[in-house]
Amino acid sequence: MAYTVRKKLRRKPQGNILRDDLIVLKTLQSRAQYPVAMRRVEMIVIIDEKEVVMVFITNNIQWAASTVGELYQARWGIEVFFKQIKQTLQICDFLGNTKQAIRWQLWAALLLYVLMRFQGQMVDWAHSFSRLLAIVRGVVWDDCEAHANKLYC
């Protein structure tokens, strides 16, 4: 991303904030989409117990740079949570097309997620969440097949 620093909001690094600048995008296409000045905050954040330098771009100029970083970190946690739910619970194809049908399926998936996390905590599960879910899915599927065979035999 090409940009020009219009104004430095912070002259030197302070704490975990390395830079805090007001920027304008350089390319014509980018400038057409985002004509106003934006804020670029560069800071050190802790991810998986490691310090990582991250850059955050926002149009919010009023908040403190530390608040911008904390907000993005919180949002990242939410994004990872929903990505994990989508991948492990395989929420990609919905059984119904109505708003209510989709809402019911999402609530059911969230309930299953919470119950599985709780079960993992109760038994002190040392492996991944997806492994726990795969084992439960396998047991339930085998049990369903066994009952189905008894009914039709």
Same domain (yes/no): 18, 44: yes
Spatial separation of the C-alpha atoms in residues 151 and 98, rounded to whole Å: 34
For the segment 42-50, the average pLDDT, to the nearest whole number, is 87
| Residue 153 pLDDT grade (very low, low, confident, very high; cuts 50, 70, 90) | very low
Q: What is the pLDDT of residue 117?
A: 86
Task: Return the structure tokens found at 148.
Answer: 């189905």
Domain span at residue 33?
Answer: 3-86
Same domain (yes/no): 78, 146: no
Same domain (yes/no): 68, 42: yes
For the segment 17-24, the average pLDDT, to the nearest whole number, is 93
Q: What is the pLDDT of residue 49?
A: 85
Place of tokens 């009952």: 147
Same domain (yes/no): 19, 46: yes
Is residue 4 over pLDDT 60? Answer: yes
Q: Which helix (H) or strand (E) holds 48?
A: none
Q: Where are the alpha helices (DSSP H) in 21-64?
A: 28-33
Same domain (yes/no): 82, 111: no
**Final residue belonging to a domain, choices 51, 71, 86:** 86
**Final residue belonging to a domain, choices 86, 113, 132:** 86
| 134 φ, ψ (degrees, to nearest 5) | -65, -40
Q: What is the pLDDT of residue 86?
A: 79
Q: Where is pLDDT greater, at 88 or 61? A: 61
Q: What is the pLDDT of residue 76?
A: 82
Same domain (yes/no): 80, 21: yes
Closest by CA position to 65, among listed 25, 21, 12: 21
For the segment 51-75, the average pLDDT, to the nearest whole number, is 89
Same domain (yes/no): 131, 99: yes
Is residue 48 over pLDDT 90? Answer: no
Q: What is the mean pLDDT of the chain?
A: 84
Each residue's pLDDT tens digit, 86-118 = 777 777 777 788 889 888 888 888 898 888 889
